[in-house]
Amino acid sequence: MTTTRRTLLRATAGLAVASPAILRAQGTWPNKPITIVVNFPAGGLTDGIARAFGQSVQQTTGQQVLIDNKPGASGNIGAALVARAPADGYTYLHTVSSTLVQNRVTFKTLGFDPDKDLTVVSGISSGFLPVVVHKSVPVSNLKEFIEYAKTNKVNFGSWALGSSAHAFAQALNEKYNLNIEIVTYKGEAPMWQDMGSGSLTAAMGSPQAFNALLVKGDIKPIANPAKVRSPRLPDVPTTGEQGFVDEVFLVRGWLGLAAPAATPKDIVNRMSDLWVAAADSEPGKKMMESFGLVEKPLGHAAVMKDYEELKTILIPRMIALGIKPE
């Protein structure tokens, strides 16, 4: 046996031994671009968090993260696309909890089954969503707004059918015998455009999304439907401080990253860890600060537990408000 032959055999044996490891490395997730479907238009809170957190995931994994906006039907179109996607860990949905919870009350058919077709990977509190009115409306708090709505034609913007804004406005109608018209949009961005033009009387949403209107003086915040005041708007009293102590005037929900239900558990947990860690990344921190978000994301197990609690609280509330499926 020549030295050359021995060398060749050793090299071949080495490759044979290394081959399984190489194959495992090639199959390690992620080894190709990840797509995150956002079921609302660009420019709102849901889209902003997806882009910032997605950037962190991209930096950590070295794989490109693509954001694909698929708005429509209050989030159902994008959710249905992900529900039908391959469960291989490369397609996710970034949505609001109302898509998975309230929409089952407000729509006769969703195009997907939230419980059977999707699993929630991680969730971050949607934060503070103040109620604002157009500058032309002569009110400065929620009580004055209710009195104004009793004698004036009023409409109220909602970024989706069944959203927190929709439920809030419907609660005002039901409890104070009002006729507020609820105007449904495909997301926050088009809603705030109409608010700026004066087409809307009132709306509710994220401070960062309406900040430009606030700076220009086109809108006035009148209430914060939360337990504590927003650090972004510390002078705006909560609904409770204004005497509205019913739970329907408190906003509860999150922005959720979801995957097809059959996605391998180890990938779900890995993506959950990446999403939670993204809140401490440079792009994640900047985005959270800009939207006034202070709570860290929930991991997979914690958000699934909260998901079950949300269903027991919000579904009966939507039904009690008399919101009919479309």
Domain span including residue 110:
34-126+253-320
Q: At what angle do helices 207-216 and 282-291 cross, to 10 degrees?
A: 50
Residues 92 and 146 in one domain: no
Q: Look at residue 12 and tell me if it is in a domain.
A: no
Residues 265 and 118 in one domain: yes
Residues 119-163: pLDDT tens digits? 999 999 988 899 999 999 999 999 999 999 999 999 999 998 888
CATH number for the domain that contains residue 182: 3.40.190.10
Q: Look at residue 261 and tell me if it is in a domain.
A: yes
Residues 75-118: pLDDT tens digits? 999 999 999 999 999 999 999 999 999 999 989 999 999 999 99
Q: Is the pTM of this model over 0.95?
A: no
Q: Look at residue 14 and tell me if it is in a domain.
A: no
CATH number for the domain that contains residue 260: 3.40.190.150
Residues 113 and 42 in one domain: yes
CA-nearest of 115, 61, 119, 106 to 265 is 119
| Domain end marker among 218, 249, 280 | 249
CB 154 within 8 A of CB 148: yes
DSSP classification of residue 30: P
